[in-house]
Amino acid sequence: MRLNTSVTIAGLIALPIAVCSPGSTHGEYNLNPSHYGPDCIVDVDVAVIGGGSVGTYAAIQLKDQGKKVLLIEKKDRLGGHTETYTDPESGIPIDMGVKLYYDDPIVYDWYARFNLTTSTLNVSVTGGAAPQYVDFRTGNILQDVPAGNDTALAAALQRYSAVLAKYPQLEDGFFLPDPVPEDLLIPFGQFIEKYDIGAAVQLFFNIAGAFGDILELPTIQQFRAQSPGLLATISNFQTSSVMNNSLLFDKAATELAEVKSLLMSSKVLHTERVGKSGSVKMLVETPGGRKLVIAKKLLITIPPTPAALANFDVNEEELGIFSQLQGFGYYTSIIRNAGTPDNVTAQSLALDQPYALPALPSIYNCNPTGVPSLSLCFYGTKLGQILSDDEAKAAIVADLKQYQAANGLNATEPEFVAFSNHSPYWLMVNSEATKAGFYKEMYALQGKRNTFWTGATWRAQDSTASWKFTKNIVLPALVASL
């Protein structure tokens, strides 16, 4: 459940159009404008595919630059991983997706654009919850967990930052040296030992979120997550001042809908990205019928998996690149009667594992929400392990049931009030592909076939970093091409 504003917005854009589907004699996916009435054709400068955090940001930025834009989103809301459940009884909003942003002008400007503000995220956001460490393999609450050493942590972060500082270009994206240095290719576990940064590993794991077994991943992927921008804001993360990050996207949706620049609950059926007209043509199924969209340029912000791009006339070059990507399984949920204490965060640890990192797949943590009996639980897998909704729900319940039984707690029946599947999450490639020039080849797709690309895969599963990449790298080139 989310705010009801999305229903109203959908009503604004789902106008009945009885003549927008040509007859069967014209073929199922006809892209010939002569077969559509004028009300069924949308001419724009840029069509943006995907109304997640980055797609919405890009659409508004283009609109503000005077470009005619159309944002196409398959869901009935904008925001992507930014999801907010509002408890119907108390009215309390619970951000169950994106919670944190950087202490950075781009964040303040984006919020101010809609007359919204942020505040520093502090302990009060989680109700002052104390950590309770749990090994979810057994369900046992762990006793006598060693306390962290702030001095050792600060020293480890300093050593990590010193290496990171050698590659300032990585703050802007995957602009890798050629050849790629070995430090960026070795598993992060080896990097930790080489530079003695073990004291920071738990912090890295907890901040990155849904990043699998970080010890096995190429160090470049860790740099991607723990960038200089993130480290600079580590004590001053920002969130919505009213604890509802979805308001940002509700306001953006309203603004785009008012100028007929938004199609929600809509699916791209077929595209022609390079044709005789020189423009992109797309047939889009909307709640009000099919529309033919003709755009000078296309900006794709969805995860570029072959499955997601099946209707975008992907060529061999694109398929060869995107088919190499792998992601993690990541699942967020609001659960009634999880069985965890109301004032405690159940944090996953495994004391017999390196740096006490949890063995995955597992619950990452279950947090109190401020609403009695409701817990916010996060579940994740290792790289390449993708679960269906039913499989993930069953695994979460199994972990919670085992936790209850192992600690003699009252047995409860966990109930999913809200659930979201964010898979595949943190799309990436291995060291061999990185060394062979994968990211150089992927970035070289920008502008080809009238298409530009942005989103988490192109920078990071991090809204602030991806907004910067979009604003500073992608949009200037796209606008210049119009």
- Cβ neighbors of 369 (< 8 A, separation 6 or more) are 92, 94, 127, 334, 375, 376
CB 85 within 8 A of CB 57: no
Residue 27: is its pLDDT beyond 60? no
Query: If you count DSSP H runs as helices and E runs as strands, how many of each does the chain have, helices first?
Result: 16, 19
Q: Which of 471, 445, 460, 455 is nearest to 49 (CA)?
A: 455
| Percent of the residues in the chain that have a pLDDT greater than 90, as a whole number | 82
Angle between helices 246-258 and 53-64 (to 10 degrees): 40
Q: Which of 290, 376, 395 is nearest to 98 (CA)?
A: 376
Strands 451-453 and 289-300: parallel
Predicted confidence (pLDDT) per residue in 243-257, tens digit: 999 999 999 999 999
Residue 14: is its pLDDT beyond 50? no
Predicted confidence (pLDDT) per residue in 43-59, tens digit: 999 999 999 999 999 99
Picking from 67-81, 115-129, 220-234, 354-368, which range would have the lowest pLDDT averaged per residue?
115-129
The dotted CATH code for 37-82+241-325+429-481 is 3.50.50.60
Task: Name the pLDDT band for 10 (thresholds 50, 70, 90).
Answer: very low
**Integer Rg of the chain from CA:** 23
Element housing 391 (H / E): helix 389-406
Intervals of CATH 3.90.660 along the chain: 122-236+326-423
Strands 280-286 and 362-368: unpaired
Cα dihedral sign, 228-229-230-233 = positive
Rounded to an integer, what distance in angstroms lies between the CA atom of residue 391 and that of residue 386?
A: 9
| List of E strands, 371-414 | 374-383
Intervals of CATH 3.50.50.60 along the chain: 37-82+241-325+429-481
Alpha-helical (H) ranges within 114-227 are: 150-164, 182-185, 188-195, 201-208, 219-225
Burial class of residue 159, CB neighbours in 10 A (0-12, 13-18, 19+) = middle
Residue 183: is its pLDDT beyond 70? yes
Residue 107: is its pLDDT beyond 80? yes
Residue 6: is its pLDDT beyond 80? no
Alpha-helical (H) ranges within 170-272 are: 182-185, 188-195, 201-208, 219-225, 228-232, 246-258
- Cβ neighbors of 92 (< 8 A, separation 6 or more) are 86, 369, 370, 371
pLDDT the model gives residue 16: 36
> Model pTM?
0.93
Task: Go through the chain and tell me how many residues it has.
Answer: 482
Rounded to an integer, what distance in angstroms lies between the CA atom of residue 369 and that of residue 243?
A: 11
pLDDT the model gives residue 343: 85
For the chain, percent helix, then strand, then coil, each to nearest 5? Answer: 35, 25, 40
Q: Return the structure tokens found at 132.
A: 């309770």
pLDDT the model gives residue 326: 97
In this structure, which topology does domain 122-236+326-423 adopt according to CATH?
Answer: Polyamine Oxidase; Chain A, domain 2 (3.90.660)
Average pLDDT value over all residues in the chain: 91
Predicted confidence (pLDDT) per residue in 394-428, tens digit: 999 999 999 999 999 888 999 999 999 999 999 99
Picking from 169-178, 205-214, 354-363, 466-475, which range would have the lowest pLDDT averaged per residue?
205-214
Q: Return the structure tokens found at 191.
A: 């990097």
User: Can you tell me the mean pLDDT for 3-14?
Assistant: 38
Q: Which of 35-39, 53-57, 340-344, 372-376 has the highest mean pLDDT?
A: 53-57
Alpha-helical (H) ranges within 274-388 are: 316-322
Q: Return the structure tokens found at 323.
A: 């088919």
